Amino acid sequence: MGPARNVVLLGATGSIGESTLRVIRKHQDRLKLIGISAHQQGEKLCQIANEFGVKNVHLGHEQDIREDLPAETNFSTGSDALNELAALEEADLVVVAVVGAAGLAPTLAALEAGKDVVLANKESLVVGGQLVMETARRTGAKILPADSEHNGVFQCLHGQPEKSLDSIILTASGGPFRDFSLEQLSSVTPEQALKHPNWSMGPKITVDSASMANKGLELIEAHWLFGLPAERLKVVIHPPSLVHAIVQFKDGCTLAQMSPPSMTFALQNALLFPDRMEGVEQGLDFRQPLELSFSPPSPDKYPCLKLAQDCLAKGGTAPLVFNAANEVAVAAFLRNQIGFTEISDIIENTLNTADFPHASSLENLLTFDQEIRLQASAFLQKLA
């Protein structure tokens, strides 16, 4: 057993942040928390800093929480300081559990500094996949996937020759509206969308799961992580969320990864990789009857998935446009400004009117991302 790894956790106050803290609490001899960030939940951030004795603490909003922190804390605010925290010299592992495209810059900062990244934030790969993967390749930093499906694929591929891979199938629960008619879907509320049948997650990804935009983002994420083209990346509906990923090899054999629907399994796998130690929660109990059904998703019911697949096939900045429009639309839905089915309308309209300039640097990607958000917001104003 080597020395404890120094961990920086960006987005410590969120749902993935909480699951990561559960793993760190259980394995304090292996993982030492040395840096944390939040966007605006100062009080919760302070509690975490005090519980784990965290030295480096960052809050996005300008509010001053220093007085509640231990005297020797190195406290910072502002986006430049977040990137500095991601590149902290003493860090071995950086967990990116920030939500949305805001995860791109710190992910790049960590990789640029040669830090291994436990990546929960899928939007960073959707917006800047090429740049992220090139940066990791150049510096030799590892990306350890923490999104459950991608972590499942990562587990199945470990030790397999690269050329043996045929295709990847990501499972989707189908969300809370799996059995709703198209008409029923038009009047669902944010409260209904936020009740996911299997997973407990932050609000944005919970809405994305209901619309299946999440699975679309995950196909793009898988493309970058595992290097397969759109036609070899598939989605299947699997309501119980016990099988997270299925990998098919050229010889016709299939491997699948299973665990209960809780993020501690994937996070622990990524944080302790390649070691396997006792988990935070019990694994599956095969003495109980388990339902393992799989069916193809209906494209009519999940237009966001279809739009994301088109963007993956188109490449370039199309996935960035999809993501930015989706972030704007989901925020508006959560504010009760638009209906659920209008999320895909906003994405589709934004895709139809956007030009797709070549953008490869972080600065160009972020500038274009802002432009698309303005376009999506303008369309939103017309609808609302």
Contact region with Mg ion (CB under 5 A), list: 51-59, 61-69, 147-155, 182-190: 147-155
Contact region with ligand NDP (CB under 6 A), list: 37-45, 110-118, 127-135, 176-184: 37-45
Binding to ligand NDP by residue 23, rule CB under 6 A? Answer: no
DSSP β-ladder status, 243-249 and 254-258: antiparallel
User: Minimum distance between the CB of residue 287 and ligand NDP, rounded to whole angstroms?
Assistant: 27
C-alpha span between 44 and 302 (Å, rounded): 36
User: Minimum distance between the CB of residue 348 and Mg ion, rounded to whole angstroms?
Assistant: 23
Contact region with Mg ion (CB under 5 A), list: 93-101, 144-152, 301-309, 331-339: 144-152
Binding to ligand NDP by residue 58, rule CB under 6 A? Answer: no
The arrangement of strands across the sheet holding 243-249 comes to 233-237, 165-172, 243-249, 254-258
Position with the least CB separation from ligand NDP: 14
Question: If we measure between CA atoms, which residue out of 169, 125, 127, 131 comes closest to residue 146?
Answer: 125
Contact region with ligand NDP (CB under 6 A), list: 32-40, 83-91, 131-139, 301-309: 32-40
Binding to ligand NDP by residue 41, rule CB under 6 A? Answer: yes
Question: If we measure between CA atoms, which residue out of 159, 118, 125 comes closest to residue 268?
Answer: 118
The answer to whether the bond into 274 is cis (omega within 30° of 0) is yes
Residues 77-136 that bind ligand NDP (CB under 6 A): 97-99, 102-103, 120-123
**Rg of the chain over CA atoms, in angstroms?**
20
C-alpha span between 384 and 369 (Å, rounded): 22
Region of residue 315 (phi > 0: left; psi between -120 and 50: alpha; otherwise: beta): left
Contact region with Mg ion (CB under 5 A), list: 46-54, 146-154, 280-288, 366-374: 146-154
Binding to ligand NDP by residue 175, rule CB under 6 A? Answer: no
Nearer to ligand NDP, 207 or 380 (CB): 207
Q: 3-class DSSP state for residue 276?
A: coil
| Site mask for ligand NDP (CB under 6 A), range 274-313, x = bound | ----------------------------------------
Name residue 338's beta-bridge partners. none
Both tokens of residue 63?
């509010």
Contacted entry of ligand NDP, Mg ion, none for residue 178, CB cut-off 5 to 8 Å set by kind: none
Nearer to ligand NDP, 109 or 201 (CB): 201
Contacted entry of Mg ion, ligand NDP, none for residue 122, CB cut-off 5 to 8 Å set by kind: ligand NDP
| Site mask for ligand NDP (CB under 6 A), range 194-223, x = bound | -----x-xx-xx------------------
Q: 202: Cβ–Cβ under 8 A, 6 or more apart, which residues? A: 14, 15, 16, 99
Name residue 267's beta-bridge partners. none
Q: 181: Cβ–Cβ under 8 A, 6 or more apart, which residues? A: none
C-alpha span between 133 and 306 (Å, rounded): 25
Q: What string of DSSP letters covers 161-192? A: -GGGEEEEEEEE---TTTT--HHHHTT--HHH
Binding to Mg ion by residue 147, rule CB under 5 A? Answer: yes
Q: Given the rule CB under 6 A, which residues bind ligand NDP?
A: 11-17, 38-41, 60, 97-99, 102-103, 120-123, 147, 199, 201-202, 204-205, 263
Q: Given the rule CB under 5 A, which residues bind Mg ion?
A: 147-149
